[in-house]
């Protein structure tokens, strides 16, 4: 099949979260299955300045309508290996920035123009490059209008650009909401600015475009696919989603086992595998030393995430005394809401030998935290899929996670199933988290129990091969 993906992030070219990991490894897997995969990405500064870009070929020049202007852009083709091509859409006014969506926790003021233009530029690029795709798969609000613009362009030019369109929802909490006045940048007839179009409570919502105007909607776990049909998790989109429920499919993400494998991971001070966990102990000591934490016979708990409400930082903060009083260790690697950064840093300052908080984005450090911790924490309030709980199981670090979204689908509770259990699940509440922490401590004290849970996790197969096969099956049965 000829498959096109369009997104705003892809590892290693641009990453702020799991979306990048997913587009990177899904496209790689699909190309390994023999499909021709093209990926559209904005030509961010990081991409333009990369050594690979020096070899990129300018392919086409675009003039894309945005309101009452035509704005120029250029598409560069960068081969990413066999059967994979990345198309970077360059318009420096919009994308020559170091952060994709904003800086200092504030979204850029021109995100409406940037991403509406980007959606149109992708479609115009597909037309000019004459790709004739079987599958066009867009991801999240940043590409939400592309499936609609594609059908509009097909009609205008009396051509076929893609047989079927797919829209993947990675996180319904981010909807691409803009003032209704931004609708003019779409150049769509006003009937699309209505309830069954992209209008949303007197604003416009780009994610709604993806929900209404793609042939199939994918989300990143089966459980989240059910949850988002309810007011509790639907973020106001449950009505729109319910009208499309027969076209909504949940496929749990996988993980890139080329990048996340403790037996070959060059980012770690020592490598290890199930048959010899010596290296994991070395990683633990290295992590504690590096962060100035004291050695302990009690567990080291790690967490790597965006510091936002979604990730359950309030739940974590409510139990900080556990880490100081019970003589455990806590390592937090994350950036985000300044109020969370400040509160966590205060705890680290008052308990420097027990709690360490690093408010940086650091890929290598994220591997060390996964490897060097004894437990991984994920008290998320909601979690479409989550990747770190899978990384941690593979790294022999059982997760303690909320029983929501993809965490429910990818973690087996050790208390329910001692033979296969690889972590602890709890309701996302302060008390339930506290209970899980206490239980994790007692399981850690029973060496053979802990080792069993650890081994169960290491043995699980989270590789993309399975998930990508589900995408492949969905694509081929749809076209
Ligand atoms: P989300 O996409 O909601 O942020 P995921 O669990 O799907 O959550 O993916 C988050 C990804 O971002 C993981 O690969 C995680 O390791 C990474 N990550 C988050 N914060 C940091 C950080 N401060 N440094 C390095 N990697 C981080
Ligand atoms: C989102 C979700 C996360 C998911 C990731 C990749 O950012 O918050 O749960 O794993 O996308 O699909």
Ligand 2: residue whose CA is nearest its atom 10: 386
> Average pLDDT for residues 69-76, to the nearest whole number?
98
Predicted confidence band of residue 379 (pLDDT cuts 50, 70, 90): very high
Given a cut of 80, whether residue 105 has pLDDT beyond it is: no
305 lines ligand 1 (CB under 6 A): yes
Ligand 2 probe mutation, 140, 251, 305, 386, most atoms within 8 A of CB: 386
Beta carbons of 118 and 140 less than 8 angstroms apart: no
Beta carbons of 322 and 434 less than 8 angstroms apart: yes
User: Which tens digit of pLDDT belongs to each residue from 306-318?
Assistant: 999 999 999 999 9
DSSP letter string, 359-415: -S--HHHHHHHHHH-SEEEE--S--SS-SHHHHHHHTT--EEEESSHHHHHH--BTT
Predicted confidence band of residue 81 (pLDDT cuts 50, 70, 90): confident
Given a cut of 90, whether residue 136 has pLDDT beyond it is: yes
User: What is the rounded distance in angstroms from the CA atom of residue 238 to the CA atom of residue 229?
Assistant: 5
Q: What is the pLDDT, as a whole number, of residue 439?
A: 98
What is the CB neighbour count within 10 angstroms for residue 465?
13
220 lines ligand 2 (CB under 6 A): yes
363 lines ligand 1 (CB under 6 A): yes
Ligand 2: residue whose CA is nearest its atom 11: 170
386 lines ligand 2 (CB under 6 A): yes
> Average pLDDT for residues 374-384, to the nearest whole number?
98
Atom number in ligand 1 closest to CA 334: 23
Size of the chain, expressed as the number of residues it contains: 479
User: What is the rounded distance in angstroms from the CA atom of residue 409 to the CA atom of residue 223?
Assistant: 7
Q: What is the pLDDT, as a whole number, of residue 98?
A: 87
User: Which tens digit of pLDDT belongs to each residue from 27-58?
Assistant: 999 999 999 999 999 999 999 999 999 999 89
Ligand 1: residue whose CA is nearest its atom 14: 18
Please, how many CA atoms are within 13 Å of residue 98, restricted to the half-sphere of its CB?
2
361 lines ligand 1 (CB under 6 A): yes
Q: What is the pLDDT, as a whole number, of residue 104?
A: 73
Question: CA end-to-end span of the chain, whole Å?
Answer: 10
Residue 316 has which token pair?
Answer: 């974590």
CA distance to 80, 105, 184, 212, per residue, from 332 (Å)? 34, 19, 43, 39
Ligand 2 centroid distance, CA of 448 (Å): 33
Ligand 1 centroid distance, CA of 337 (Å): 15
Atom number in ligand 2 closest to CA 387: 10
Beta strands in 175-225 (DSSP E): 177-179, 199-200, 203-205, 216-219
Given a cut of 90, whether residue 15 has pLDDT beyond it is: yes
DSSP letter string, 294-338: PP-SSPEEEEEEEESGGGTHHHHHHTHHHHHHTT-EEEEEEEE-H
> Average pLDDT for residues 200-217, to the nearest whole number?
98
Ligand 1: residue whose CA is nearest its atom 26: 363
Given a cut of 90, whether residue 387 has pLDDT beyond it is: yes
Average pLDDT taken over every residue of the chain? 97
Beta carbons of 372 and 287 less than 8 angstroms apart: yes
17 lines ligand 1 (CB under 6 A): yes
Strand 69-79 to strand 57-66: parallel, antiparallel, or no bridges (unpaired)? antiparallel
Given a cut of 90, whether residue 232 has pLDDT beyond it is: yes
Ligand 2 probe mutation, 253, 313, 404, 410, most atoms within 8 A of CB: 253
| Phi and psi based region of residue 35 (left: phi greater than 0; alpha: psi -120 to 50; beta: remaining) | beta
């Amino acid at each position: 099949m000829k498959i096109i993906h369009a997104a705003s992030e892809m590892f290693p070219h641009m990453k702020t979260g799991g979306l990048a990991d997913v587009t990177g490894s899904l496209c790689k897997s699909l190309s390994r299955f023999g499909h021709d995969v093209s990926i559209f990405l904005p030509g961010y500064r990081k991409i333009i300045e990369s050594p690979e870009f020096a070899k990129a070929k300018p392919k086409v020049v675009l003039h894309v309508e945005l309101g009452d202007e035509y704005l120029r852009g250029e598409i560069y083709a960068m081969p990413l290996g066999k059967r994979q091509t990345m198309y970077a859409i360059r318009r420096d006014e919009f994308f020559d920035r170091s952060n994709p969506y904003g800086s200092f926790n504030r979204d850029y003021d021109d995100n409406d123009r940037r991403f509406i233009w980007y959606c149109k530029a992708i479609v115009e690029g597909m037309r000019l490059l004459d790709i004739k795709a079987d599958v066009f798969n867009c991801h999240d609000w940043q590409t939400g209008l592309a499936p609609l613009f594609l059908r509009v362009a097909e009609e205008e030019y009396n051509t076929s650009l893609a047989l079927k369109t797919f829209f993947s929802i990675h996180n319904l909490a981010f909807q691409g909401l803009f003032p209704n006045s931004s609708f003019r940048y779409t150049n769509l007839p006003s009937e699309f600015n209505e309830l069954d179009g992209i209008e949303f409570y007197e604003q416009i919502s780009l994610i709604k475009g993806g929900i209404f105007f793609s042939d199939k909607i994918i989300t990143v776990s089966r459980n989240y696919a059910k949850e988002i049909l309810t007011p509790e998790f639907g973020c106001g989109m449950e009505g729109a989603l319910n009208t499309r429920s027969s076209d909504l499919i949940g496929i749990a993400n996988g993980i890139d086992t080329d990048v996340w494998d403790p037996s070959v991971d060059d980012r770690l001070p020592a490598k290890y595998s199930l048959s010899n966990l010596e290296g994991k102990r070395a990683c633990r000591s290295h992590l504690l030393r590096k962060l100035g934490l004291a050695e302990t016979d009690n567990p080291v708990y790690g967490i790597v995430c965006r510091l936002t409400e979604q990730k359950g930082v309030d739940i974590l903060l409510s139990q900080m005394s556990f880490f100081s009083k019970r003589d455990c260790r806590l390592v937090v690697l994350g950036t985000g809401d300044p109020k969370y950064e400040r509160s966590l840093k205060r705890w680290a300052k008052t308990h420097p030998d027990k709690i360490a908080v690093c408010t940086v984005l650091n890929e290598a450090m994220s591997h060390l935290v996964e490897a060097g911790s004894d437990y991984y924490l994920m008290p998320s309030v909601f979690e479409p899929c989550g990747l770190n709980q899978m990384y941690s199981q593979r790294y022999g670090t059982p997760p303690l996670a909320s029983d929501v979204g993809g965490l429910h689908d990818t973690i087996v509770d050790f208390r329910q199933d001692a033979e296969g259990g690889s972590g602890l699940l709890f309701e996302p509440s302060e008390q339930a988290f506290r209970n899980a922490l206490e239980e994790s401590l007692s399981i850690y004290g029973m060496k053979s129990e802990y080792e069993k849970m650890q081994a169960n996790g290491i043995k699980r197969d989270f590789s993309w091969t399975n998930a990508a096969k589900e995408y492949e099956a969905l694509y081929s049965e749809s076209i």
